[in-house]
Structure 1
Amino acid sequence: MESEATAPWGAEREVGVGPWEGPWPEGDHYDPELLAQGDRRNVVDKYRYWSHAAIVADLDTRRHGFHVAIENWQHDFNIGTVVRTANAFLAKEVHIIGKKRWNRRGAMVTDKYQHIRHHASVEEFLGWAGTAGVVVLGVDLFPDSVPLETYDLPRNCVLVFGQEGPGLSEQVRQAAEATLSIAQFGSTRSINAGVAAGIAMHAWIRQHTQV
């Protein structure tokens, strides 16, 4: 069987690994069913054959101090992308403000490993942030926004993104400690909300982690 790395161009790549070969490894974090049948999940090699609970428990020991929130008043299709990126950068939590339902397809099953919290209203979200002691920062293009590239992001903060199109709500804008803008150099007025979220999360990573 050809591996993912050696599959010919155009051929469908096989994800993951097959059944464990040889004596099974010891450890409570291993999943007997995955060892027997193979592990085709969207996880890094370190977590191959681990149970779902064991993976989440390990991630919880290392999660970063930043949160991500996105307003979802009209079923924003970017939320799946935001969740997937938040998992990649090990965000503390993803917060969805507004409608509870969202399109999980873009998350590529990473929502099973990423803590997600729903807030029915902006008021509820701001109440959580105040109780948790988390700094609220909006990310959008406003005349008074400050450049993300030069802003010192707090270690414990929540980066809030508006619905694709309307952008950040006035309620969040007024409550935020600051609104941050992402430098653009082309002709478009704005960039996709999912892309903006990825850029902002990585800005926090650059400031607060050692790669």
Structure 2
Amino acid sequence: MSGNSKNRPGIRKTNKKGAVKGSGGARRRGLRGKGPTPKAEDRVYHAAHKRKLERQRRDQGRHDRSASTELVVGRNPVIECLHARVPATALYIAQGTRNDDRLTEAVQLAHSRSIPLIEVPRIELDSMTGNGLHQGVGLQIPPFEYADVFDLIGTVADSKEQGMIVVLDNITDPRNLGAVIRSTAAFGGQGVVIPERRSASVTAVAWRTSAGTAARLPVAKATNITRTLKEFQQNGYQVVGLDAGGDTTYDSYDGTGPVVIVVGSEGKGLSRLVRETCDVLVSVPTTSWVESLNASVAAGVVLSEFSRQRRAAGVKPSES
């Protein structure tokens, strides 16, 4: 009887598992193409792939070396650096380079300082320098080791000397930097401070201009010149800014005490915040038709005067 049936309407029983129809897309995926054949250098099992990896390794090595070292090229510049005892890690000579007196001198100077001589194919030296104007020779110079401003202040305090530090503001010419380093060392200063950004660094050009004094005089980098000047003031220094419209002339200022001499760029001078931080602005008098002095010359003049004042007052000069 229908009323006694055990089959309930709307319920369908089946013993099948999975999809009732089709392959679930498996056949379609199997028929799909695999795309274009990869290049030989992109196939890991191919010899071209190994050559590609080797090229990348060499290029990366050149990039790392260029980021951390400097290559001075040209026979005269190389000889100047060697005479100035600029620290160097290698002297590169291109294969087939014609020998002359300058190349012989460079090799002899490098040999006397135990600097390794490395002979490389000319095309490799072209790649290292970015051009073919190297005259077959290049001197590799390691990055300069900068001092810390706080260590510089502490070292001067421990020496019991009257500190004389030069701070450069917006000096972008490495030759000016090298000349200031040389003058600071010559007139008994204890160090030079430069900004981390928008400033010349101690490159081979600065090394040559400093005539090797950069090897003995500390050069520190500061992230913020204004804060650095305030740090010097808190440690008993007078901050003297060089400015054409100064409050007094450099020879009327008493420079026998701890002093920081701030030098701005020849064009822009001192930046606004640095100028406002200075305790006094002094000028270097010149004849009326001369507009301004080169920054390194102005620094040398003031350093010379302060050094004279200290000798006259019996202040012992620095032996840095």
Name the TM tier (shorter chain): 0.5 to 0.7
Residue 111 and residue 76 in structure 1: after superposition, are their counterparts in 2 closer, same or farther (change >3 A)?
closer
The Cα shift of 1:61 comes to 6.0
Residue 170 and residue 118 in structure 1: after superposition, are their counterparts in 2 closer, same or farther (change >3 A)?
same
Q: Which amino acid aligns with 2:293?
A: I
The Cα shift of 1:186 comes to 4.5
Residue of structure 1 equivalent to 2:239: 136
DSSP 3-state at the match of 1:158: strand
State the alpha-carbon separation in 1 of the partners of residues 288 and 171 from structure 2.
29
Residue of structure 1 equivalent to 2:270: 168
CA deviation string 1:13-36 (max 9, x = no partner): xx79xxxxxxxxxxxxxxxxxxxx
Residue of structure 1 equivalent to 2:299: 197
Decide whether the 8 Å contact of 1:137 with 1:177 is kept in 2. Answer: yes
Residue 200 and residue 65 in structure 1: after superposition, are their counterparts in 2 closer, same or farther (change >3 A)?
same
What is the CA RMSD across the aligned residues, in angstroms?
A: 2.8
DSSP 3-state at the match of 1:209: helix
Decide whether the 8 Å contact of 1:76 with 1:163 is kept in 2. Answer: no
State the alpha-carbon separation in 1 of the partners of residues 163 and 171 from structure 2.
26
State the alpha-carbon separation in 2 of the partners of residues 189 and 75 from structure 1.
19
DSSP 3-state at the match of 1:133: coil
State the alpha-carbon separation in 1 of the partners of residues 169 and 210 from structure 2.
17
DSSP 3-state at the match of 2:251: helix
Size of the aligned set, in residue pairs, is: 156
CA deviation string 1:79-100 (max 9, x = no partner): 1100011111120211113436
Larger radius of gyration: 2
State the alpha-carbon separation in 2 of the partners of residues 63 and 164 from structure 1.
31
DSSP 3-state at the match of 2:255: coil
The Cα shift of 1:65 comes to 2.2
Which of 159, 163, 176 is 1:65 aligned to? 163
Decide whether the 8 Å contact of 1:70 with 1:97 is kept in 2. Answer: yes
Residue of structure 2 equivalent to 1:86: 184
Q: Which amino acid aligns with 2:287?
A: F
DSSP 3-state at the match of 2:260: strand
Residue 163 and residue 98 in structure 1: after superposition, are their counterparts in 2 closer, same or farther (change >3 A)?
farther
State the alpha-carbon separation in 2 of the partners of residues 182 and 107 from structure 1.
23
The higher relative CO (CA closer than 8 Å, separation ≥ 6) is in: 1
Deviating 4+ runs (over 3 angstroms)? 60-64, 72-77
Q: Which amino acid aligns with 1:88?
A: A
State the alpha-carbon separation in 2 of the partners of residues 149 and 89 from structure 1.
15
Q: Which amino acid aligns with 2:184?
A: A
The Cα shift of 1:170 comes to 1.4
DSSP 3-state at the match of 1:203: helix
State the alpha-carbon separation in 2 of the partners of residues 160 and 119 from structure 1.
13
DSSP 3-state at the match of 1:78: helix
State the alpha-carbon separation in 1 of the partners of residues 202 and 219 from structure 2.
12
State the alpha-carbon separation in 2 of the partners of residues 188 and 147 from structure 1.
16
Gaps (5+ residues) in structure 1? 1-14, 17-36, 39-59
State the alpha-carbon separation in 2 of the partners of residues 77 and 167 from structure 1.
17
Any residues of structure 2 matched to 1:29-48 within 5 Å, and which?
none
Decide whether the 8 Å contact of 2:187 with 2:303 is kept in 1. Answer: yes
Any residues of structure 2 matched to 1:1-211 within 5 Å, and which?
65-72=163-170, 74-75=172-173, 77-99=175-197, 101-103=201-203, 104=206, 105-142=208-245, 144-210=246-312
Decide whether the 8 Å contact of 2:194 with 2:222 is kept in 1. Answer: yes
Which sits farther off after the overlay, 80-89 or 65-74?
A: 65-74
The Cα shift of 1:179 comes to 0.4
Q: Normalising by structure 1, report the TM-score.
A: 0.64
Q: Which amino acid aligns with 1:120?
A: T
Gaps (5+ residues) in structure 2? 1-82, 85-111, 114-157, 315-320
Residue 77 and residue 204 in structure 1: after superposition, are their counterparts in 2 closer, same or farther (change >3 A)?
same
